[in-house]
Structure 1
Amino acid sequence: MRISSFQFTQRNLDNISGRTTEANKLLGQISSGKRVEYASDDPVAANGIFNYKQELRKLEQYKTNINLADNRLSREETGLTSAENITQQVKEIMLKANNPAIGPQERDAFKAELQSRIDEMLDIANANDEFGQAIFGGFQTDSAPFTRQPNGDITYSGDTGQRQMVIGDSVKVELNHSGEQVFGGVPNPRGDFTMSYALKDGARQDQLQVESAKISDRGSFTDAHPYTIEFMDSSPVAGNMAYRVTDNNNVVVPTPPADPALYTPGSKITVDGVDIVIKGEAKVGDKITLGSTVADGTGQDELGVFDILNRAKEWLETDGHNANGQANMADILGELDAMGGHFTRVRADTGNRMQRLDNQRETHAEMTLTLDKLRSGMEDLDYAQATGEFSQIMVALEATQTMFGKVQSMSLFNYI
């Protein structure tokens, strides 16, 4: 077979062009550090690289979400820590004020100090995050969730919603506790009712006090509060104390075995499905009223933070150094202890959520390293191998160009 000069020239030019293309491709890979820049470079590897990059981008979004959630929960934790400190400060104010030797000026100073603590607590309850959204408003984040009314009461206008953030595949974390839960969910240390006292003055060996009042039999509980416990002389043994319980219609509630029933300090009294334990010395004419702001048969087993603080303020506005005042003081101190413990539990739950964020952050960091290593193995260039191949191609290209140049200059006329 004869090969024409044109065919010979074209074949050598194609050879030179092909090696030049290979050299340029390797040079581009060396410059970018990528073995696979286009899907055509390695279709199978390109598909795997795309999937790895998708996963890596998703992990980066999760990391961003974790940082946002961490900032959000950190602000809540700071607020809860401050609320704990304020609770302790209020308790110290009340203990100092519970001193019969203080005068009106000192009482006014304690009242002003307590009002300042209440204002601080309200600021915490209405705190905003870095985006200006109410931390304790539930889903209602565009306005202050707590509002002071003209009579001094503080009401909640938010809801019970808990916002969530996606921090992993099928993994979410709550970003907040609602204001109702944080500032309205203090466990009632007395059980299901709050107490008010109308006690006779005079010395007592032991302060009369309701230790607990809990609904024990909801089937027989008629929700006829307030219940009034009145103390009187028992007969025929003079000097022994007896009691009678009436409901909100002033109807005597049966108290076996008799009416009135003999009072034994510390013993359980069961009326209308409610177990009541009263301790201390009773006097003739003493009255204790068990009330609740809840009228759905569940009892008031939770108290509001601001209700507790306002009750403490009311105590400072009256003379609390009498039988009534001391009974109320005992209740206030118990409620403040319950309030501090409540803030601690909520803060612990916030800490658990932050720990979950840390754990998820570590998981994503490990997964990122693994995926990035797999992606790199498929996409990144092996410089040593690429440099060697580039050198071989350049040697072959130079040899082809040299040989083609010499052959191209050969002619029979040179030998005639």
Structure 2
Amino acid sequence: MRISTAQMFNQNISGVLEKQSATNKLVEQLSSGKKVVTSGDDPVAALGIDNLNQQNALVDQFVKNIDYASGRLSVTESKLGSAENLAMSSRDLILRAVNGSLSDADRQTLAAEMQGSLDELLAMANSKDESGNYLFAGFNTDTQPFQFDATGKISYSGDSGVRNTMVASNVALGTNVTGDAAFMNAPNAMGDYSVNYLASQQGEFSVSSAKIADATTYVADTYTFNVTDNGAGGLDLEVLDSANNPVANLANYDPSAPVSFNGIEVKLEGTPVAGDSFSMQPQAQVSIFDTLNSAIALIKDPGKTNTPAGNSELAQLLNNFDSGMAQISDARSEAGISLKRVESYQSSHSDEKLVNNSALSLLEDLDYASAISEFEKQQQALNAVSSVFSKVGSVSLFDYI
């Protein structure tokens, strides 16, 4: 069979190019350390590599979210811890201020110290994160959540929004504690009402409980309690609504027995005397700011300190202050639990990425020993093909004529 010069030339060129391509591919693999450089190298492995890279990218995003959430929750938990400690020291100041041996000047000094604690507590509640967002404002992160209003009380300008962060597929965790949940909406220690005691009070008593006992018959209103002498050595009790209409009349009133009217049950501690009077209005929740503010006002007023009315008001304030402290403690626990959950997902993602990277290594990492051996073989083959092509290409019929 005769082979034309052109055919022989093309066959030899194809052989050389094929060996060069195989050699170049090995060089590329050796330089990159990857045995699958393009999808053409191994389509099945390339698909697996692509899927694993996408999973790793998603895990990296979750880890970034977790880092941000961890930072926010760590700051939140720290601020609430500081607020809890400050509240405890403020309670101690209240108890010191009602010591009967203190002078009015001493109480004014303690009141000033308590005012500083209130301002510091307010500053903590208005804390910001590293991005300049208010920690305890809910969704209104660019609005200062707490400030004094025109009446001298602390108002809340945030909302109850919980900012969720995706920490895993189909898993969103809250990364903030709202200001109303941490500082504003503590349960009223007495129940559903707060009490106003008159300066004229003579009996040593206080309201220990004022709750809605029957929601079906409950009538929300402001009620006034008047204790009178029944002329027989005992007491009568009259309860009036806001329109001065009697809603309860108890002859021979026993202060140790609950008073029930309009779906409300009221319990007293101690014993009132004839002429004592007090009023109560609906208030199911209290703010630790307003409680501390009221305590400061009580201690500043020399006419109420260590009086029956002042002691009764103090008992109510201390109970509400304890409720506010418990609220801060609960909010701190919530932040700590959320932080722990976030960190557990971070550990899970680290394990997931380790598994993914191991699988990637099996699919794409190059076996250098095998690759170098194959490279040497391809080099020898390329040299052999090139040598043959060079010798055959130089043969001429004229050399034999």
| TM-score grouping bracket, smaller chain normalisation | over 0.9
The correspondence of residues 107-256 of structure 1 with structure 2, limited to 5 A, is 107-198=107-198, 207-224=204-221, 226-234=222-230, 238-254=232-248
For structure 1, the residue ranges without an aligned partner over 5 or more in a row are: 293-299
Whether the aligned pair in 1 keeps the contact of 2:29 and 2:366 (CA below 8 Å) is yes
Deviation at 1:410, TM superposition (A): 4.9
Alignment map for 1:92-111 (pairs within 5 Å): 92-111=92-111
Distance in 2, matches of 1:370 and 1:307, equals 54
- Equivalences for residues 5-404 of structure 1 within 5 A: 5-198=5-198, 207-224=204-221, 226-234=222-230, 238-254=232-248, 259-292=249-282, 300-319=283-302, 320-404=305-389
Q: Which runs of 5+ in 2 are unaligned?
A: none
* Aligned-partner residue type, residue 100 of structure 1: G
- Whole-Å Cα distance in 2 between the matches of residues 335 and 362 of structure 1? 41
**8 A Cα contact 2:201 2:277, kept in partner:** no
Q: Following the alignment from structure 1 to structure 2, what is the Cα–Cα distance between the partners of residues 122 and 288?
A: 31
Q: Deviations over 1:166-217 (max 9, x none)?
A: 1111111112222222221111110001111126566x6xx41211111011
* Count of aligned pairs between the two proteins: 399
TM-score (norm 1): 0.91
Q: TM-score, normalised by structure 2?
A: 0.94
Is contact 1:241-1:263 (8 Å) kept? yes
In the alignment, the residues of structure 2 paired with residue 49 and residue 376 of structure 1 have an alpha-carbon distance, to the nearest angstrom, of 9
For residues 262-315 of structure 1, give each alpha carbon's deviation from its aligned partner in whole angstroms, at most 9, with x where no partner exists.
3334322211101111121221111121112xxxxxxx2211122111111111
Contact in 2 for aligned 1:146/1:155 (Cα 8 Å): yes
Contact 1:219 1:273 in 2 (8 A): yes
**Alpha carbons 1:168, 1:360 under 8 Å: kept:** yes
What letter matches 2:295 in structure 1? A
Deviations 1:145-176 (A, max 9, x none): 22223542221222221111111111111122
Alpha-carbon offset, residue 98 of structure 1: 0.9
Instruction: Tell me the percent identity.
Output: 34
Distance 1:161 1:412 in 2: 94
| Partner Cα separation in structure 1 for residue 212 and residue 190 of structure 2 | 11
Asked if the contact 1:199–1:287 (Cα under 8 Å) also holds between the matched residues in 2, the reply is no
Report the Cα distance in structure 2 between the residues aligned to 1:119 and 1:199, rounded to whole angstroms.
29
The aligned counterpart of 1:296 is none
AA aligned to 1:262 is N
Distance in 2 between residues matched to 1:263 and 1:85, nearest whole Å: 43
Measured against aligned partners, the alpha-carbon deviations of 1:60-79 in whole angstroms (never above 9, x if no partner) come to 01100001011111121112
- How far apart are the structure 1 equivalents of 2:187 and 2:373? 76
Q: Determine if contact 1:200/1:283 at 8 Å carries over to the other structure.
A: no
Partner of 1:295: none
